[in-house]
């Protein structure tokens, strides 16, 4: 392990999946992110624990599944989920290990990032566009505290809709790519052009951050991570457990630690593994209650040995749970909400499948997940195996769905108020 702990710069953005040039999106202009991937390590098959912001980010930053860390859905109203007290957020762990922890821009894990998450300082005031957040980071780097390793968590609002929150964005100089699960309409093309423009703003900010690190003279001893919370915000992506909803980019570079070379890793990984990996790279013990496993050892080798035979996740708003392997995916539906039609418009119609309690997809034959083979007899063995694995995971995480519909924070507060008012009567 390193005698001097590395700096860590951890960059996240909203709702972008793998919509970058380095992930094969030929119409997306992202030269700065692509450049980091070309000299770092890019993971081709990382997926998130949940296709919504707070639940995914909390799992990634604590190394614990939503059922364990308490953040089952979204932090803000009308959901109001929160992290359980004492959850080991990455910033808290690093602060305890002597890091100076600083938040720039957006996070969605807590209403109080300094008290609960462990940031010693955090951005104040209205959240600006990505280049403004990057400019704040660059200014900080000129007079940063010395004598401690730095953990900087930098979050951008982009590419959350509306894309033109503070400025008009549109990028179609190389055309636009329409995902196969969307109808190729003018409305969809305009939406994708705005998404590509928002990605361009993120890319510009990433370039500014990298320049600030270089000018500070600490690039070699800095672990640079770029990732995303979940898939893009269109039907059959965000808010669903289909691959476009749970796929995430993950790129890491650390010249001083040998994490370079433009490697592309095919391993199937959950983003709950990220926190344990960062801690191992920094020479810090991984919390005993971590659900994730470190993949640090594959960063500097040519090994393609799998770390996981399957991964798991959930979307609590629709009471969905999933298990995914390299070849298959099983989604169990515990509510009557049904998958969207395929392909669909930006305002889709619902595809009703009576009693579609389970969706099984053969990802090799059907990568777009449009043919449910859960009732196909030729897949009986696959279905039984994945069904058993998913049940065991739900048991191991003490999933509340095994006991009945999950009580929401609103329900718990409301029933408490109801009982309190009865006592007053």
The residue to which tokens 């590509």 are assigned? 196
Contact in structure between 227 and 56 (CB atoms under 8 Å) = no
What was the pLDDT predicted at 2? 46
For position 189, what pLDDT does the model report? 96
d(CA 241, CA 332): 10
pLDDT digits (tens, 9 = 90+) for 248-288: 999 999 999 999 999 999 999 999 999 999 999 999 999 99
Measured CA to CA in angstroms, residue 77 lies from 73, 80, 125 at distances of: 11, 5, 20
pLDDT of residue 253: 98
Domain range summary for the chain, segments of one domain joined by +: 7-298, 311-410
pLDDT at 190: 94
The pLDDT mean for the chain works out to 94
The CATH classification of domain 311-410, taken from the options 3.40.50.300, 3.40.50.2300, 3.30.1120.10, 3.40.50.700:
3.30.1120.10
Q: Is the pLDDT of residue 85 over 60?
A: yes
Helix (H, G, I), strand (E, B) or coil at 300: coil
Provide the percentage of residues in the chain whose pLDDT is more than 90.
85
For residue 43, list its beta bridge partners: 250, 265
User: What's the pLDDT at 3?
Assistant: 57
Can you tell me the mean pLDDT for 74-90?
91
327 close to 336: Cβ distance less than 8 angstroms: no
What do you get for the CA distance between the two ends of the chain, in Å?
A: 64
What pLDDT score was predicted for residue 301?
A: 85
341 has a pLDDT exceeding 70: yes
Query: Residues of 272-297 as b/e, b for ≥16 C-beta within 10 angstroms?
Result: bbbbbbbbbbbebebbeebbbbbbbe
Quote the pLDDT of residue 174.
Answer: 97
pLDDT bucket at 339, cuts 50 / 70 / 90: low
Tell me: cis bond preceding 343? Omega within 30 of 0 counts: yes
Query: What CA–CA distance (Å, rounded) separates 363 from 243?
Result: 10
| Superfamily of 7-298 according to CATH | Alkaline Phosphatase, subunit A (3.40.720.10)
Residues 185-202 pLDDT 10s: 999 999 999 999 999 999
Poorest-pLDDT segment among 254-263, 315-324, 335-344 = 335-344
Domains 7-298 and 311-410 in one fold: no
Q: How many residues does the chain have?
A: 425
Cβ atoms of 27 and 176 closer than 8 Å:
yes
Q: Which of 40, 18, 95, 31 is nearest to 279 (CA)?
A: 95
Give the three-state DSSP class for 36: helix
């Amino acid at each position: 392990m390193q005698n001097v702990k590395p700096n860590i710069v951890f960059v996240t953005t909203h709702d972008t999946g793998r919509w970058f040039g380095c992930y094969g999106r030929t119409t997306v202009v992202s030269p700065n992110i692509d450049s980091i991937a070309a000299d770092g390590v890019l993971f081709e098959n990382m997926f998130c624990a949940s296709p919504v912001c707070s639940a995914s980010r909390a799992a990634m930053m604590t190394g614990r599944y939503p059922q364990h860390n308490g953040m089952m859905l979204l932090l803000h109203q009308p959901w109001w989920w929160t992290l359980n007290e004492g959850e080991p957020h990455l910033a808290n762990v690093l602060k305890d290990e002597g890091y100076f922890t600083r938040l720039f821009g957006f996070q969605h894990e807590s209403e109080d990032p300094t008290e609960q998450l462990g940031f010693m300082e955090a951005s104040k005031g209205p959240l600006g566009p990505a280049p403004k957040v990057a400019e704040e980071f660059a200014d900080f780097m000129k007079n940063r505290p010395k004598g401690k390793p730095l953990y900087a968590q930098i979050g951008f609002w982009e590419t959350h809709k509306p894309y033109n929150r503070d400025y008009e964005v549109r990028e179609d100089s190389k055309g636009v790519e329409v995902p196969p699960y969307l109808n190729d309409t003018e409305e969809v093309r305009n939406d994708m052009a705005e998404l590509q423009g928002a990605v361009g703003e993120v890319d510009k900010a990433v370039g500014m951050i990298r320049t600030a690190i270089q000018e500070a003279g600490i690039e070699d001893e800095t672990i640079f991570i770029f990732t995303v919370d979940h898939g893009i915000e269109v039907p059959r992506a965000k808010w669903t457990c289909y691959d476009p909803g749970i796929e995430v980019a993950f790129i890491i570079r650390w010249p001083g630690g040998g994490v370079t070379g433009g490697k592309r890793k095919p391993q199937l990984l959950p983003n709950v593994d990220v926190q344990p990996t960062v801690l191992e790279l920094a020479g810090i013990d991984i919390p005993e209650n971590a659900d994730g496993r470190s993949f640090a050892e594959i960063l500097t080798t040519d090994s393609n040995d799998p770390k996981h035979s399957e991964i798991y996740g959930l979307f609590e708003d629709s009471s969905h749970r999933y298990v995914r392997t390299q070849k298959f995916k099983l989604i169990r539906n515990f509510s009557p909400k049904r998958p969207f039609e395929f392909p669909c418009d930006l305002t889709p119609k619902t595809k009703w499948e009576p009693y579609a309690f389970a969706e099984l997809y053969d990802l090799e034959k059907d990568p777009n997940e449009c043919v449910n083979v859960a009732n196909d007899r030729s897949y009986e063995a696959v279905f039984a195996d994945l069904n058993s694995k998913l049940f065991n995971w739900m048991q191991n995480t003490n999933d509340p769905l095994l006991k009945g519909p999950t009580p929401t924070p609103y329900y718990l507060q409301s029933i408490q108020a109801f009982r309190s008012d009865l006592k007053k009567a």
